[in-house]
A and B are shown apart, each in its own frame.
Chain A
Amino acid sequence: MSTAFFWIFVMLLALGMPVVFALLVGPGLSLVLDDQRPYFAALLSRLYNGIDSFPLLAVPFFILAGELMNSGGITARIVNFSQSLVGHVRGGLAQVNILSAMLFAGISGSAVADASAIGKMLVPAMEANGYRRSFAAAVTAAAAVIGPIIPPSGIMILYGFVMNLSIGALFAAGIVPGVLMGLGLMAVTRLLASRYDLPVAAPRATWPERGRAFRGAILALLMPLILLGGMLGGIFTATEAAAVAAAYALVVTLFVLRSLRVRGLKEIFVATAVQSGVILLLVGAAVTFGWLVTMSGMAEAMAATLVSITDRPLLLLLLLNLLLFFLGMFLDAGPAILILGPVLGPVFASLGVDPIHFAMIMCINLTVGLATPPMGLVLFVVASVANERVERIVRALLPFLAVHLVVIVAVTCFPALTLTIPRWLGFVQ
């Protein structure tokens, strides 16, 4: 079988065909031109089987949980709690933005959801507090990137499914890089706050005030603990944890906080159905594409080419970072993970790179790509929420992007940053 399907796919993608169709038309055209009818007949069953999987149920469940929490006013409670902790620091609202994104990351698992939820609340507040709008938007975009790195994470679920890796292990591996990224962003914000003379957000909260803010946010903050506790305690699987998250969000917003009405649910469920439908059809198409990559021997050929450059895995991983950073500028994280995972994963596994470590390099790189132009979904969301031009946001984003790059290099060079917690929890030997 020739590898023409791959080049047809690349051409269609560059011309602007939606990724899901390019993943099917590329192989379809190539197989018809090569007169490989039996393989063509298998395309449909591969597509169907690519979607027909219990672990994939986690995708709509986490999207639903995020939508419910967001619409149910949970974001405001998280922001209030963050403000009570760091609002008194110079550049306080920017710090609140980053801390809120870290806490929200434990609920939503999506950078776009983080950017939209926190941006809508904090960008106007920061502007009113004396921040430049471009700076407020840049902080929001940089912090939102943490969303899919701290568990739960939508792209880790997709990667775990496509590459047959433990989703629990991937979630555990994301904790240290996510926290490091958050702390790095807070440190850079503190430096910029002195340089630009950024204001404090509020006087230092007293401990009783912090206690009240904590009680207000406790239902949201409990969610990641319930999820991780349930998974690690063997009560439920990662997929079932996602269902618990959705059910928990439904009960909390409808019956405990009463911040949502039953009438408002239709819109939330429809948005969830469309988002998850788009993602999961892409998963099915990517599984089909990955099957052809394996059948054509392309992965082996690529491994041979890479090894001919250098046989030092660390150097190859650093080169991979450059490639992923570049591709992340043009491709959304989900499709990029689904396309590149099956191609590159086996290559680096054969070079002795731990699959969980490799997965984290992929996930973090491509997530950071969400905040880089020209194809940065988070950037677009923040630009729309803040009503600010993308190029201005990008300029203000540069110091924060440096933090992202430092974390990527650190994760690449020190596998212990990603593998220690999964080892403690027994996911990795």
Chain B
Amino acid sequence: MNGPGPHRPLPLLDRPIAVLAAFNAPVTRAGRDIAAALIGCMVVLAVAQILSRAIFSHTLDWAEELARVALVWGVLLVAPYAYRSGANVAIGSFAHALPPRFLAACSAALNLLVAWICVMLLLESFEFWRRGLSLTASALPVRMSWIYSIVPVALAALVLVSAELVLRLLRSLVRPDPELTLAGAVPGIKED
């Protein structure tokens, strides 16, 4: 997204953006790659379940639960990448008809709201994780807190991504940011 203004350094924004980008880019990509590997695990587990039932007449309860854990982990691991790369579905028709300045203000407000919900859910996630300490998985010999631990991790990553996007959006108001794109009216960063 290109904003108006000359090409000049903005150290107050450039530095934190550089730090956040240096952290967010590899972390979100790693999350995406782990999620891709988990898809392979899910296929193996589901096929193993069918074969075990068909050949040995034995149901692998743990395989079903493990596949579900892989699914939840995969979805939550990919969420920060999807947010950062603007892969989420949005209605852009009305937003893109807005005047550029109004669109930028609207984008900033919406992204702040996304950041707010991520922070609120992150705060709730600690209690959610704590509840898992007293629960054991039904077919796996682990505490649910191990499984739930992905929730605060993913939400923390989402908060960091939203912080980067808000700062980039602010910077784009005074200096063009060719990497910035819009999913609806919420910014994302073009992937290579």
**Chain B residues whose CB sits within 8 angstroms of the CB of A28 once the complex forms:** 116-117, 120-121
A270 touches B33 (CB 8 A): yes
Q: B1-9, B166-174, B178-186: which lies at the A interface?
A: B178-186
B43 located at the interface, meaning its Cβ lies under 8 Å from any Cβ of chain A in the complex:
yes
A276 touches B33 (CB 8 A): no
**Chain B residues whose CB sits within 8 angstroms of the CB of A32 once the complex forms:** 120
A274 touches B32 (CB 8 A): yes
B127 located at the interface, meaning its Cβ lies under 8 Å from any Cβ of chain A in the complex:
yes
**Chain A residues whose CB sits within 8 angstroms of the CB of B127 once the complex forms:** 41
A16 touches B92 (CB 8 A): yes
**Chain B residues whose CB sits within 8 angstroms of the CB of A221 once the complex forms:** none
B160 located at the interface, meaning its Cβ lies under 8 Å from any Cβ of chain A in the complex:
no
Secondary structure class of chain B's binding surface, majority of residues: helix
B157 located at the interface, meaning its Cβ lies under 8 Å from any Cβ of chain A in the complex:
no
**Chain A residues whose CB sits within 8 angstroms of the CB of B87 once the complex forms:** 274, 278
B35 touches A273 (CB 8 A): yes
B145 located at the interface, meaning its Cβ lies under 8 Å from any Cβ of chain A in the complex:
no
B32 touches A270 (CB 8 A): yes
Q: Which residue of A lies closest to B35 (CB)?
A: A273
A16 touches B89 (CB 8 A): no
Q: Report the minimum CB–CB distance from B122 to chain A (whole Å).
A: 9
Offer 14 A-B interface pairs, CB within 8 angstroms, sorted by A: A28-B121, A52-B72, A60-B74, A243-B42, A243-B47, A244-B50, A250-B43, A272-B36, A273-B36, A277-B74, A281-B76, A281-B82, A284-B75, A375-B91
> Which of A18, A52, A239, A242 is within 8 Å of B90, CB to CB?
A18
B177 located at the interface, meaning its Cβ lies under 8 Å from any Cβ of chain A in the complex:
no
**Chain B residues whose CB sits within 8 angstroms of the CB of A374 once the complex forms:** 93
**Chain B residues whose CB sits within 8 angstroms of the CB of A236 once the complex forms:** 50
Besides A13-B91, A17-B185, A280-B71, 4 more A-B contacts (Cβ < 8 Å) are: A16-B107, A48-B72, A60-B39, A281-B75
B142 located at the interface, meaning its Cβ lies under 8 Å from any Cβ of chain A in the complex:
no
**Chain A residues whose CB sits within 8 angstroms of the CB of B38 once the complex forms:** 273
B134-154 CB contacts (< 8 Å) to partner A: 148, 151
A246 located at the interface, meaning its Cβ lies under 8 Å from any Cβ of chain B in the complex:
yes
A270 touches B36 (CB 8 A): yes
B91 touches A239 (CB 8 A): no
Q: A19-27, A153-161, A182-190, A420-428: which lies at the B interface?
A: A19-27
**Chain B residues whose CB sits within 8 angstroms of the CB of A331 once the complex forms:** 91
B62 located at the interface, meaning its Cβ lies under 8 Å from any Cβ of chain A in the complex:
no
The 0/1 profile, CB within 8 Å of A marked 1, for residues 101-140 of chain B is: 0000011001001101100110011011000000000000
